[in-house]
Amino acid sequence: MQNDIKIILDSIKQSSIKIKQLIEEGDTSKSTNQNSTGDTQLKLDIASDVIIENDFKTLDIVKQCVSEEQESIVDINPNGKYLIAYDPLDGSSLVDVNLSVGSIYGIYTDDFKGSNIIASVYVVFGPRVEMVVAFDGEVKMYRLLKGEFQFVQNIKLNQKGKLNAPGSTQQCWLPHHKEMIDDIFASGYRLRYSGGMVPDLHQILLKGGGLFSYPSTTDLPKGKLRQLFEVFPFAFIYETAGGGAIDGKQRLLEIPTTHIHDTTPCFFGSNDEIDLVKEVYSKNG
């Protein structure tokens, strides 16, 4: 399997170098299309998706793909072993204001569900391009230097951190969630939230810990972030890095997926912060 993951990683590296160029030179305007969750697609979203899908299509070991930007599962090779769900350019609307964005990949076997994820990858396009890979019990970070991704470090979360990244529309927070976030700030945590899931979660991982939350809200009871290609890949990374990832009560990687574009409330963080979320949410139904 090690070799198979390397083959997939090589494809992701190749796609990422092309996407980097697209971000720097491409058309950031809106297309006339919407994706399956109703988001208006940017031309960057569609172009990034085409790059990734075409690169995966050259791999015999890939059976199917799911993309945020496509309604249905894409069949690649009936004899393939791996199923890959990806968000080609998460937070793409931030490119227009020159903030960091990223690609997210979940690699599954047998079926698209959290308990079948065996590896995950994200690539953050910021002042530097960095790729983080969770596989076989380790989280490794690579940096694009002179056209090559070079290993930089392993990533481990501390027991407790200092950063708090509270997502979603605050006026739609449920009372117990608002009280919990206020208490976290009152205990001295620093606000670190850009609206880009990839850089926001990357920062918490690299700065040793904290909490990222995108909860159930009155306007989005099932949350906003998509299970297969946003939530589960980061859940796998945070757990592999020694932290936790829950929906408020249970492990995210245990929740059922009924549709490939399902969303879920999600919390990612160091263990002390995840324990706090469990305590608050267990008391509030």
What residues make contact with ligand FBP under the rule CB under 6 A?
Answer: 39, 68, 87, 90-92, 167-168, 195-197, 224
Contacts of residues 57-66 at CB distance under 8 Å and 24 or more positions apart, as own/partner, are 58/11, 59/7, 59/8, 59/11, 61/4, 61/7, 61/8, 62/8, 64/112, 66/112, 66/228, 66/229, 66/260
Closer of 168 and 227 to ligand FBP (Cβ): 168
Closer of 7 and 193 to ligand FBP (Cβ): 193
Cβ atoms 180, 164 nearer than 8 A: no
Minimum distance from residue 232 beta carbon to ligand FBP (Å): 14
Minimum distance from residue 23 beta carbon to ligand FBP (Å): 13
Closer of 92 and 164 to ligand FBP (Cβ): 92
Closer of 45 and 239 to ligand FBP (Cβ): 45
Minimum distance from residue 168 beta carbon to ligand FBP (Å): 5
Rounded Cα distance between 119 and 133, Å, is 7
Rounded Cα distance between 74 and 110, Å, is 15
Minimum distance from residue 68 beta carbon to ligand FBP (Å): 6
Residue type, 230: E
Closer of 53 and 90 to ligand FBP (Cβ): 90
Minimum distance from residue 146 beta carbon to ligand FBP (Å): 29
State both tokens at 2.
Answer: 């090690």
State both tokens at 246.
Answer: 């829950």
